[in-house]
């Protein structure tokens, strides 16, 4: 399975870090991050994004590298995940404005009816944000807002991160037990 992960400049660097760590060596990963996303990585979790990727088997590409394999539909990515998704990137994707590898990857997923998972992060959402999400949802994208639940009684921040990442893995159809499912024993 080949998965593209686009990291845009919204809060929540812990999420792509965890998702990439979980998927590393299980699937083929192609990752790209905007300049602001890289800054937020450094700011929120004190990590250099590119150095972090070097500790994995994921392949990293600059967002303006339209010669990257994932820029073409012919490469055959199975799924594209935008995590977290800023409101700017959400707007670009919803309007077919494929100006970066992140938005191009999503654009290709939409045109080829491949799995697209978008994880928009903002609070509150404006009507513009919500309309963009509705548009993408109607096009078949999964909108997975990084909003952890509390019914599974999380004890740590990691539990809450794993809940969100587990939901994204569920959308990808990848088996995981990152969170306690309703009905499972505590
Ligand atoms: C520390 C930090 C946190 C941010 N958090 C968010 C956020 O949660 N949601 C959002 O839409 N924009 C957020 N922004 C603003 C975006 O980074 C900005 O709109 C940028 O143009 C997004 O570009 P990109 O999607 O190409 O990364 C944040 C910026 C910074 C510096």
The pLDDT tens digits along the chain (186 residues) read: 999 999 999 999 999 999 999 999 999 999 999 999 999 999 999 999 999 999 999 999 999 999 999 999 999 999 999 999 999 999 999 999 999 999 999 999 999 999 999 999 999 999 999 999 999 999 999 999 999 999 999 999 999 999 999 999 999 999 999 998 988 766
The length of the chain is 186
Positive or negative torsion for Cα 126, 127, 128, 130: positive
Is domain 2-148 in CATH 3.40.50.1950, yes or no? yes
pLDDT of residue 186: 61
Q: What is the DSSP letter of 79?
A: E
> Measured from the CA of 90, which atom of ligand 1 is nearest?
25
What tokens does 171 get?
């959308």
Contact by Cβ (8 Å): 82, 108:
no
Q: Where are the strands (E) in 34-86, listed by range?
A: 59-60, 79-85
92 C-beta closer than 6 A to ligand 1: no
Pocket test for ligand 1, best of 10, 94, 101 (most atoms within 8 A of CB): 10
> Measured from the CA of 9, which atom of ligand 1 is nearest?
27
Parallel/antiparallel/unpaired status of strands 79-85 and 2-7: parallel
Nearest CA residue ID for atom 18, ligand 1: 9
Pocket test for ligand 1, best of 86, 90, 121, 125 (most atoms within 8 A of CB): 86
> Measured from the CA of 102, which atom of ligand 1 is nearest?
26
Q: Give the H/E segment covering residue 20.
A: helix 14-23
Nearest CA residue ID for atom 7, ligand 1: 10
pLDDT of residue 44: 98
Query: Is the overall model pTM greater than 0.95, yes or no?
Result: yes
> Measured from the CA of 44, which atom of ligand 1 is nearest?
1
Contact by Cβ (8 Å): 140, 116:
yes
pLDDT of residue 184: 79
Output the CA 184–ligand 1 centroid distance in Å.
37
> How many CA atoms, within 13 angstroms, populate the side-chain half-sphere of residue 5?
30
What tokens does 165 get?
């990442």
> Measured from the CA of 37, which atom of ligand 1 is nearest?
27
Give the distance, in angstroms, between the CA of residue 109 and the centroid of all CA atoms in the same chain: 13
Output the CA 11–ligand 1 centroid distance in Å.
7
Domain range annotation of the chain: 2-148
């Amino acid at each position: 399975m080949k998965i593209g992960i686009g990291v845009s400049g919204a809060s929540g660097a812990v999420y792509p870090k965890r998702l990439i760590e979980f998927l590393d060596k299980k699937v083929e990963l192609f990752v790209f991050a905007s300049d602001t996303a890289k800054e937020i990585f450094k700011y929120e979790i004190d990590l250099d994004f590119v150095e972090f990727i070097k500790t994995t088997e994921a392949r990293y590409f600059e967002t303006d590298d339209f010669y990257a394999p994932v820029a073409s539909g012919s490469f055959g990515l199975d799924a594209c995940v935008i995590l977290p998704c800023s409101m700017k990137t959400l707007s670009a994707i919803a309007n077919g404005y494929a100006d970066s590898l992140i938005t191009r990857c999503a654009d290709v997923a939409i045109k080829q009816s491949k799995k697209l998972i978008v994880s928009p992060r903002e609070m509150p959402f404006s009507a513009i944000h919500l309309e963009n999400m509705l548009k993408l949802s109607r096009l078949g994208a999964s909108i997975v807002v990084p909003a952890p639940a509390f019914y599974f009684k999380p004890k740590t921040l990691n539990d809450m991160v794993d809940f969100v990442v587990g939901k994204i893995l569920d959308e990808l159809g990848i088996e995981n037990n990152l969170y306690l499912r309703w009905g499972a024993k505590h």
